[in-house]
Copies of this chain bind each other. A is one copy, B any other.
């Protein structure tokens, strides 16, 4: 790769100047006293030779690589990871940086390896990303340089970027209240583990808190709360069936994520109920399926692209120490309507 690239020495020779002069001109150093003509000659020579600096050589001296490590537990299993990466990629490009991506698969050995691999390559900083919003402890090895936590927080008070799940909870509840839903709102997706262990999830508790807070303020109580061991369609399906077997039918269902809502749709369809005429449904995440469902599903979007972007900004431009909360926009879609009759 990159055989026959012109070097700085080549440029200097062609311009009839020293490497020093060429280096200074090309780096646009202030305060140098090189003549305008020298500038011309260097630029012309560089242009003509198609000169591009060898960043390995440069970083040996400057200890800057213009490279950021993106270390995450799992990139593949969620379709959100791509957005996180894309946002980071965009922001990095704008700052002339590039991303070295590694995955730990939640395995300590792999993690150790991944971190050594990126540190050996002298990255300028590390974005340590989790695929589920949670609290975690950062491996000591990366604390030697700038670190930003992405979709995670840590007890060490490192800079971090997380979605505003509590705000999303408020948006969801507010949307239903505004439509006139009151005491017939059901919630699907309660989960003790997710709610109580911040190392498993921060989202569950925050979403619940946001919902509760808003409903409390309106003096409205939940009609029912269904617990689910996982947030998968089959659990949403089962929860909805159990919900419908009770005497009081809900006017609206809040699902803790879109996959649960997907299951809920299936159960509602089988029960002959139509969304939103009989029951409104709203949820969290804005998974691609939310827009594909019939009727399309109202949900609050995980702002993953924004978050990835923000992480790079924090890392390179510095900024706030307290967790950076990225708002989750509400996507109003067809699954919302005022309560029936």
Contacts and interface: CB of A to CB of B under 8 A. Distances in A.
A173 interface: no
A85 B76 contact: yes
B237 A124 contact: no
A56 B65 contact: yes
B102 A89 contact: yes
B144 A2 contact: yes
A197 interface: no
Interface string A47-78: 00000111111011000010100100001111
A146 B113 contact: no
Nearest to A237: B294
Interface in A220-245: 232-234, 237
Interface residues of A, number: 65
B100 A86 contact: no
Contacts of A67: 100, 121
A78 B89 contact: no
A86 to B, nearest CB: 4
A145 B2 contact: yes
A98 interface: yes
A239 to B, nearest CB: 15
A302 to B, nearest CB: 13
Contacts of A119: 1-2, 52
A3 B146 CA distance: 12
A85 to B, nearest CB: 6
Interface in A263-292: 263, 266, 269, 288-289, 292
Contacts of A78: 82
Given A1-B144, A117-B98, A120-B53, A83 B89 contact: no
B79 A75 contact: no
A324 B82 CA distance: 26
A2 B122 contact: yes
Q: How many copies does the complex hold?
A: 2
Contacts of A233: 292
B116 A52 contact: yes
A26 interface: no
A206 interface: no
Contacts of A145: 1-3
A82 B75 contact: yes
Nearest to A87: B76
B120 A54 contact: yes
Given A2-B119, A77-B82, A93-B113, A56 B54 contact: no
A142 B93 CA distance: 19
Contact of A122 (B54, B98, B113): B54
A166 interface: no
A262 interface: yes
Contact of A79 (B53, B82, B121, B259): B82
Given A1-B145, A76-B86, 19 more contacts: A1-B146, A2-B122, A2-B144, A56-B65, A60-B60, A65-B121, A75-B82, A75-B89, A85-B101, A89-B101, A93-B114, A96-B117, A98-B100, A98-B118, A99-B101, A100-B101, A101-B101, A232-B292, A233-B292
